[in-house]
Amino acid sequence: MYKADICRAADLTLHGGYYFDVDILVVQPYVAPADAKFVTVKGSGFPTFGFFQAFFAAEKDSAIARHSLKVMLEALSGERSQGEWLGPTALMEAWMEVENVTNASSVNFDVNNVHLLTEVHLANPTDVSKYQTVSDSLASINGFSLIQRIPRGYGDDCQYQTGACDYAVLDEADGRIYFYSRVLGTTCSMTLNNMGRPVVPTNSSSAP
């Protein structure tokens, strides 16, 4: 887990570019704003659990990405708290320290060449109501299509048990959904009620 946190930050510091976790589902291609030097996602409940770094983009030698490596080293050596998750917390703290942010929850989604996408829980009306485009889509006759569906063949008794299949990542600039936080079948495990046993996901990783 820690190796993945460190490697993504190190690679983007050295080379710049885009990073995607293998277990997020792309809804439509996302291209960062032309002036953006750093892009990631405000995770659900932000800032409690830090950034949702399953998607992370940065320019080469990004000050934020580079500083996050220092923050992680200090956390692993006991010089500062690791937070709930090492990488997500370190990336958020690095952003706050580099950009002199004192109140993470009040920062605009696009400021100082930093563009922050937003994770939203599609099954939570309160969460969805904050974003009019998503709210309108879910309220429409085709709104159900925004929620990931269980693959055919499992029957009506198959339902979600855990995971983040009904969490999506949107851009507040246009209100469009670009990713699902997790692909069904990874951390999104399922249960077959009629058989009374869980279906074990092929990828059990649950880190952001």
Domain assignment of residue 208, yes or no: no
Please report whether residue 128 resides in a domain.
yes
Residue 207 lies in a domain: no
Query: Which run of H or E residues covers position 201?
Result: none
pLDDT one digit per residue (tens) for the chain, 208 residues? 688 999 999 999 999 999 999 888 888 899 999 999 999 999 988 999 899 999 999 999 999 999 999 999 999 999 998 888 899 999 999 999 999 999 998 888 998 999 999 998 877 778 877 877 776 766 654 454 555 655 544 444 344 444 556 788 999 888 888 988 877 655 555 443 333 444 444 443 444 5
140 C-beta neighbours (distance < 10 Å), count: 11
* 204: in domain: no
CA–CA gap between residue 182 and residue 161 (Å, rounded): 14
The reply to whether 102 falls in a domain is yes
- pTM across the whole model: 0.77
Give the total residue count for the chain: 208
Please state the domain count of the chain. Answer: 1
In a domain? residue 49 = yes
* Residue 62 placed within a domain: yes
Domain that holds residue 97: 2-199
